[in-house]
Amino acid sequence: MHSKKMTATGLESKDPWQELPFDPWLIIPTIRRSWRWAVPLGFVISGLVSGFIYLRFIPEYSASHLLEANRDFVVFQGVMQGHSDLLQNERPLIENHLVLSPVLSDPKICEAPSLRDIHSREMNIRRNLSLSDAGSKTLLRVSYRDTEPVAAANVCNAIVRSYLQQRQRFDDRRISDLEGWLQPALKLWQDEVEQHRERIVTLSKQAKGFDPFQETTRLNSDSSYLTSLRDELSLLRSNEAVIEAELLMLKDALSKPAQNELVDIDPMTFEALVKEQEEVAIASRLLGEKNEEMRMMEKSDLVRTRQAWYDNIKKDIAALENQLSSAKLAVRPIVLSKWRESAVVAKTAELTRTRTRRNVIEDNFKAEEERLSKFAGETAELYFAQQKYLQARNILERLNERTASLRTERQKSSTIQTLAEAQTPTAPIESVPWKKILMFAVASFATPFGLAFLLEIQSKRISHSDALEGEKEIPVLGEVVMLPSHSGSAKKQRAYDESIDSLRANFILSDPGNTQSLVIASSMPGEGKSTLATHLAISLSKMGAGRVLLMDADFRSPDQHHLFGLPMSEGLAGVLRGRVTLEEAIDTSLGEQLHILTAGEIRKDLAKIVSKERIEKLMQEVKGKYRFIIIDTAPVLAASETLSFAAGADGTLLCTMRDVTRQDHLQRCLRRLNLSGAKLIGTVFSGMPIRQYLYRYGDYRYSMPLDAESSSTDLRQS
């Protein structure tokens, strides 16, 4: 039914419908045939399932603890690291076993209904725990749900308390590490200050008899540049000591395994580094291409005609999203290690620049010392000793200030603080599980239709004429509209007559002049062969090309005498037995153009009278008197005598009925007809809906009313 299409490169691409294991058009006939029993059964099943869910439903309560990033400071701002995105930064730590294990080891907390089972409590606590932002990236909502409201609040608060303890421990360890790496620098500069102080005392004793402050007044007036160099050198040396301590701390962290909860990096920077990784970049690019393809299909309105393709794209997008998430999780430790390595490199470069700048300032300081020494002599030496003492004391003060800032800010609360503890919820999340009931009710309601669809796939009924084209290249001579009832509208009657006339025209044009006797057959009963034979004979008689004989050869279930209101005479059975002549058996009461040969009385000698010789003799006799002989036979698979008539006739027209004829029955029927030597000229697809027929072929009616109705209309009304 669906064909291949050509791509822009000229190559053939398969239609996605062809990849399905079934024809999606079967859904429509399945619903049409099964709704009378599937709808009430679906309501019953969905009602039972909904009632079962409602009776088994246990309401759950959700308690929430609100956290806030603590950006306050005691004296020194920026000493303690702040959090710009709590949800992204703190999720790995809250969901880590370091936080959840202490909670699960508390017997009182484990009295909660969701944590009573020792085997599933860890899975349940992770499943019932949820994290979300509370309208701002600096606010974090930690929620926990349980069937008991008090238990939900207790577990939620216990998780937050354990998390805050771990966070405080990590913050304390960070500050302690930095303080520890600053201690060697503090000891060094304490010794330096003491040495310079002793040097000043010694020089003052050697210079007894003069006032050093009065003698150095001239130097003070000419030492402003030296003072500025001293101040800058003090700042550089103190910064160098801090940078060295931070570098040692980074190198120590680099030697340890990467842990997500210890990442001291801005989340935006970290995410940007993660996206630059090759695995993540490839997955992001493929995901973007699939999203763009889906948007193009939606924009071009191709979803309805390519639903399977669209669904495959959605599945690919879901798979790529999982792949992207997995890739991000996999590269996070690698990115963290690389970032730490780059941080060490950057900190080393910063230390090198600071040392280079310090060396330059020291050279300038020494040059200025030499210049002033030549100018002031021994007084200058005392002055320089005082300057070095002041410089060392300045550096020591800066380091002490840094240490004091760390110790001072350490006294404040954690970087994360509670804004509102979890309170016992008063109402459940939902009193009735409407979403779950609706979901299962819809699935239950669709279950009978699913079973009907499986049965339909198994039975393989023919629902459209295109399915007949693939049966060994047998042409479809026509599509016949569903026979309208007596109360049918004129439009339906007109469409039916037009479909019969179209079949007549196709039959004549397909094999002009060669087919005189035509067997109308079907694979099984109920496929409309008798009705088709009747109206095809009437249509041929209206054509005026010669007399038409309608022969009823369905001895087991004859219909033609009922359809025309004729008495059951000796008929065809009497002719084959030799009890009456052909002229005596044929009914000519309907006019000169259409004669009827009824089936006759049925006896047990059916197999004897329907022989090949008698049928051939009968055909030769009838062909000399009629232009067309239409033979209504019994179903091929149910009656063997039909094969004898098909073999003796000039052609066979196989009738199929929409939503009735099965593929396997049709194939078996075709094999029997071929083995019998019958000449199959085509098939007919009957029972086509009026709307579908008019949609495909249109409604081209007469503009002027006819003066008299056709004999076929009179026949149907009778």
The 10s digit of each residue's pLDDT in 612-649 is 888 888 888 888 889 999 999 989 888 888 888 888 89
Residues 6+ apart with CB under 8 A from 338: 273
Instruction: Give me the mean pLDDT over the 169-181 stretch.
Output: 73
In terms of pLDDT, which residue wins out, 245 or 320? 320
Contact 455, 33 (CB under 8 A): no
Per-residue confidence (pLDDT) for residue 153, from 0 to 100: 94
**pLDDT > 90? residue 248:** no
Residues 441 and 581 in one domain: no
Give the highest mean pLDDT range of 9-13, 140-144, 183-187, 458-462: 140-144
Query: How many Cβ atoms from other residues are within 10 Å of residue 709's Cβ?
Result: 9
3-state secondary structure 63-85: EEEEEEECCCCCCCCCCCCCCCC
CA 191 distance to own-chain centroid? 70
Pairing of strands 680-688, 651-657: parallel
In terms of pLDDT, which residue wins out, 410 or 310? 310
DSSP for 462-475 reads --STHHHHTSTT--
**pLDDT > 60? residue 262:** no
Residue 601 lies in a domain: yes
* Residue 290 pLDDT level (bands cut at 50, 70, 90): confident
In terms of pLDDT, which residue wins out, 687 or 106? 106
Per-residue confidence (pLDDT) for residue 147, from 0 to 100: 92
The 10s digit of each residue's pLDDT in 696-715 is 776 665 554 544 344 444 44
Instruction: Give me the mean pLDDT over the 176-182 stretch.
Output: 70
Residues 475 and 508 in one domain: yes
Give the highest mean pLDDT range of 178-187, 351-360, 399-408: 351-360
Per-residue confidence (pLDDT) for residue 473, from 0 to 100: 56
* Residue 550 pLDDT level (bands cut at 50, 70, 90): very high
Residues 450 and 588 in one domain: no
Residue 277 lies in a domain: no
Residues 580 and 647 in one domain: yes
DSSP for 293-328 reads HHHHHHHTT-TTTTHHHHHHHHHHHHHHHHHHHHHH
Residue 622 lies in a domain: yes
Residue 394 lies in a domain: no
Contact 288, 324 (CB under 8 A): no
CA 428 distance to own-chain centroid? 31
Residue 442 lies in a domain: yes
Instruction: Give me the mean pLDDT over the 585-604 stretch.
Output: 86
- Domain C-terminal end among 423, 443, 459: 459
Per-residue confidence (pLDDT) for residue 128, from 0 to 100: 93
Number of domains in the chain: 2
Residue 528 lies in a domain: yes
Smallest CA-to-CA distance from 639 within 491, 521, 494, 476 is with 521
DSSP for 543-611 reads HTSS-EEEEEE-SSS--HHHHHT----SHHHHHHHTSS-HHHHSB-TT-SSEEEE------TTHHHHS-
Per-residue confidence (pLDDT) for residue 226, from 0 to 100: 66
Work out the mean pLDDT of the chain and round it to a whole number: 78
Residues 455 and 550 in one domain: no
Instruction: Give me the mean pLDDT over the 192-200 stretch.
Output: 75
Pairing of strands 680-688, 517-522: unpaired
H or E element, residue 538: helix 529-543
- Domain C-terminal end among 424, 459, 494: 459
Residues 452 and 470 in one domain: no
Distance between CA atoms of 250 and 342, rounded to whole angstroms?
10
439 is in which domain, residue-wise?
14-57+433-459
Residue 311 lies in a domain: no
Per-residue confidence (pLDDT) for residue 246, from 0 to 100: 75
| Across 69-78, 94-103, 188-197, 574-583, least confident range | 69-78
The 10s digit of each residue's pLDDT in 11-68 is 444 444 444 555 566 677 778 778 888 899 999 999 999 999 889 888 999 999 998 8
Distance between CA atoms of 311 and 324, rounded to whole angstroms?
20
Give the highest mean pLDDT range of 210-224, 306-320, 686-700: 306-320
Residues 444 and 593 in one domain: no
CATH of the domain at 498: 3.40.50.300
Beta bridge partners of 65: 142
Instruction: Give me the mean pLDDT over the 435-450 stretch.
Output: 90
In terms of pLDDT, which residue wins out, 175 or 478? 478
- Domain C-terminal end among 418, 442, 459: 459
Residues 495 and 447 in one domain: no
**pLDDT > 50? residue 215:** no
Instruction: Give me the mean pLDDT over the 679-706 stretch.
Output: 74
* Residue 103 pLDDT level (bands cut at 50, 70, 90): very high
**pLDDT > 60? residue 517:** yes
Residues 526 and 656 in one domain: yes
Residue 104 lies in a domain: no
Contact 571, 600 (CB under 8 A): yes
Contact 297, 310 (CB under 8 A): yes
Residues 651 and 563 in one domain: yes
Question: Exposed, middle or buried by CB within 10 Å (0-12, 13-18, 19+), for 352?
Answer: exposed
CA 692 distance to own-chain centroid? 34
Residues 661 and 696 in one domain: yes
| Across 408-422, 593-607, 633-647, least confident range | 408-422
Residues 441 and 560 in one domain: no
Residues 6+ apart with CB under 8 A from 125: 100, 103, 104, 114, 115, 144, 155, 159
Q: 9-44 b/e with 16+ CB inside 10 Å = b? A: eeeeeebbbeeeeebeebeebbeebbeeebeebbee
- Whole-prediction pTM: 0.48
Per-residue confidence (pLDDT) for residue 217, from 0 to 100: 43
**pLDDT > 60? residue 80:** no
Per-residue confidence (pLDDT) for residue 283, from 0 to 100: 85
**pLDDT > 80? residue 286:** yes
